[in-house]
Structure 1
Amino acid sequence: MADRSPSSRAPRAWQRMLSGRRLDLLDPSPFDIEIEDIAHGLARVARWNGQTVGDHAFSVAQHSVVVQEIVAHIQPDIEPRWLLAALLHDASEYVIGDMISPFKSALGVNYKDFESRLETAIHVRFGLPAKTPRAIKTLIKTADKACAYFEATQLAGFSKTEALGFFGRPPVGYELEIRPEPASIAQARYMDRYHALVAARDAAAAPRPTAWTPKVPRRAAGRRG
């Protein structure tokens, strides 16, 4: 007789979200991903493992909105869909949390593969290419490092010289004063930005009406006299 005791079952590999979705962590499906779950989770995930000053953690949700704004500052004519990609660049962290870069390196390739599968499912869910083009990925990474520079120097105790060594210099002409927001506000701002970018993307992708000029029939030449 098969052993059906709880200890004999395979470990649970899915997470129940507040939306009611069950996300399979080993094989994530786009159908089980909801933006409300992402916004809720990211607003409660702290950057820098929470080692920041202030009454509130600087959340991944707030960070993501700033990164999207920096991308728009660097390339003002960028397509709205790539701004959406920038907003979602850390969306996988609503499941796996915000692991600092040294820890990601320590975990190795298996972690990166897991993160990549989840990112692909998120992109498919929200109508983005499964893989972000290299140029866009580089642009988002530049904006991500710029945001990290401001976070490091204003919240995480880094000197400007130290931050420059790790993250490089922010874009010329861009200044940022960071004020960490409560989770509820960060979540609402993330959702608002998501809806604005989706509307802009859909408007840009919609076919434009063709200009039409009605033809006026020529009057038949009549005889005079």
Structure 2
Amino acid sequence: MDARRGDWIQTYTLKQFWPLDPRPEDVDIQDIGHALSMQCRFTGHCHTFYSVAEHCVRVSERAGTLMQQIGGFSHDVMRAMQWGLLHDAAEAYLVDLARPVKHDESMAAYRRAERQVMIAVRAKFGLVGGLPDEVKDADNDLLWTEARDLFPSCHPAWTWRGEPLAERIQPMTQPEAKAAFLARFSVLFGAEVAR
């Protein structure tokens, strides 16, 4: 095997994963589903545990709805839902950073690493094209919905860029979120996944 850049982490499925030298063959949906179900949104500052895996399931559902509303073809709807489910997949291997940190100019290396992991994820699961606008819109819709439902109240400095969804979020447990994520993957990608 050729030399890999950087060091590796051990994943849930006991694989070696090189975050700075990711390859499609190292990506595993079990690792992604498990790790995202263990990570809390808002860097853990919400009033109850709410996983990134549940967020991804909800973004996937919302992206499909948005694509249907604009009259997207069935393959466009499927593509939006697939991207929605996996839009934060890199966080399974790198963890997420708070937006103010992640987008600071000093974090360019982190953003490059995140892009490289997403390239490996795209290749592994056959994601077509770039991140659809409907996924970005769904992600923002969920951000405002989550802020409304997961904090006792929002700081007055929040700048609302969307309308929270009518549905109120009742967070899943970690095992429920992992199962929901893997079940949705099975449906969207036509692949049986052990849960």
**TM-score, with structure 2 as normaliser:** 0.84
Which residue of 184, 188, 192 corresponds with 2:179? 188
Q: Secondary structure of 1:178's partner?
A: coil
Aligned partner of 1:18 in structure 2 is: 12
Question: What SS class does the counterpart of residue 63 from structure 2 fall into?
Answer: helix
Q: CA deviation at 1:58?
A: 0.6
Is contact 1:48-1:156 (8 Å) kept? no
1:79 and 2:73 aligned:
no
Where does 1:87-126 land on structure 2 (aligned, <5 Å)?
87-106=85-104, 107-126=106-125
Match of 2:61 in 1: 69
Identity %: 28
Alignment check: 8 A CA contact 2:19 2:94 kept: no
Residue of 133, 140, 144 corresponding to 2:135: 140
Q: Give, in whole Å, the separation in 1 of the partners of 2:161 and 2:44.
A: 19
2:163 aligns with: 169
Q: CA deviation at 1:98?
A: 2.3
1:195-206 alignment, distance < 5 Å:
195-199=186-190
Letter of the 2:62 counterpart? I
Matched letter for residue 63 of structure 2? V
Single out whichever of 15-24 and 84-93 deviates more from structure 2.
Answer: 15-24
Corresponding residue pairs, total = 180
- What secondary structure does 2:190 align onto? helix
Which of residues 40, 49, 52 in structure 2 aligns to 1:46?
40
Letter of the 1:185 counterpart: E
Q: CA deviation at 1:181?
A: 1.4
The verdict on how the C-alpha distance between 1:70 and 1:42 changes in structure 2, with shifts beyond 3 A counting, is same
TM-score (norm 1): 0.73
Q: Which structure 2 residue ranges, 5 or more long, are not aligned?
A: none
Q: Call closer, same or farther: CA 1:162–1:151 in 2, change over 3 Å.
A: farther
Offset at residue 177 of structure 1 (A): 1.0
SS at match of 2:17: strand
RMSD of equivalent CA atoms: 2.1
Please tell me whether the aligned partners of residues 60 and 81 of structure 2 are also in contact (alpha carbons under 8 angstroms). yes
- Alpha-carbon distance, 1:157 to partner: 4.2
1:75 match: secondary structure: helix
Instruction: Tell me what 1:33 maps to.
Output: 27
Q: 3-state DSSP class of the match of 1:190? A: helix
1:43-84: CA deviation from partner (whole Å, max 9, x where unpaired): 000101111113xx1100000000111111212243313311
* CA positional deviation for 1:166: 4.0
Amino acid at match of 1:65: V
Residues 61, 186 of structure 1: 8 Å contact kept: yes
User: Which residue of 1 is the match for residue 148 of structure 2?
Assistant: 153
Q: Secondary structure at the residue paired with 1:28?
A: coil
Contact 1:148 1:167 in 2 (8 A): no
1 CA distance for matches of 2:107 and 2:36? 23
- C-alpha contact (below 8 Å) 2:67/2:80 kept by paired residues: no
CA distance in 2, matches of 1:146, 1:103: 22
Q: Give secondary structure in 2 for the equivalent of 1:167.
A: coil
